Amino acid sequence: MASSSHTALGTTADFDVAAHGESFELVARAAAAAEARAHVRRLLGDWRLGGGDVCDAAQLVISELVTNAVLHASGGRIVCRLALRQPWVRLEVRDQGGAYGVPIRTVAGPEDECGRGLGLVAALSEAWGAEPSGPGFSVWATIRVPRPVRGG
């Protein structure tokens, strides 16, 4: 896991000048993951990335990141951000903190009912990481876009 905002894919600031980008807030509750998936599906459709592997992977990644924020943060609000900067889509979830420290990937046993989320994020993304963000954390993942996006 990368623990800083600097990776081979650039810095957080690089995505601040993305070709497309949008943030949205959610209430930290059970329905937040479904709401986040709907936002991602709409945004990627607007960016002409809907209906394919990138959209499917992005929906699963945002769902896992939001679910972790709901389960492990202290509640309140969750801020989600998507940015497109060729050839990457970056998904980011910021929470308000809680009793848990830096998010880490764990290895779930065959009978465990939890502990697979960040493993799925790692499998679906080119890179992912976590960094402090105010009282909480920002957890992000980047997914490669296989072809140039036109228009939008």
Indicate the number of domains in the chain: 1
Whether 1 is covered by a domain: the verdict is no
- pLDDT for residue 8: 37
Strands 77-85 and 127-133 come out as unpaired
- pLDDT for residue 111: 62
Whether 150 is covered by a domain: the verdict is no
Residue of 137, 26, 24, 41 lying closest to 89 (CA atoms) = 41
Whether 2 is covered by a domain: the verdict is no
Whether 7 is covered by a domain: the verdict is no
Q: Is the pTM of this model over 0.85?
A: no
Q: pLDDT tens track of the chain, all 152 residues?
A: 333 333 434 445 544 545 788 999 999 999 999 999 999 999 999 998 877 999 999 999 999 999 989 988 877 899 999 999 888 999 999 988 765 555 555 565 556 455 557 888 999 999 999 888 888 889 999 999 986 655 55
Strands (DSSP E) along the chain, which ranges? 20-27, 77-85, 88-94, 127-133, 136-144
- pLDDT for residue 150: 59
- pLDDT for residue 96: 83
Looking up residue 52, the CATH number of its domain turns out to be: 3.30.565.10
Q: Write the CA distances from 29 to 5, 55, 69, 76, 124, integer angstroms.
A: 27, 23, 9, 9, 24
Q: Write the CA distances from 103 to 7, 15, 18, integer angstroms.
A: 17, 21, 26
Place of tokens 């993305």: 18
- pLDDT for residue 103: 54
Whether 149 is covered by a domain: the verdict is no
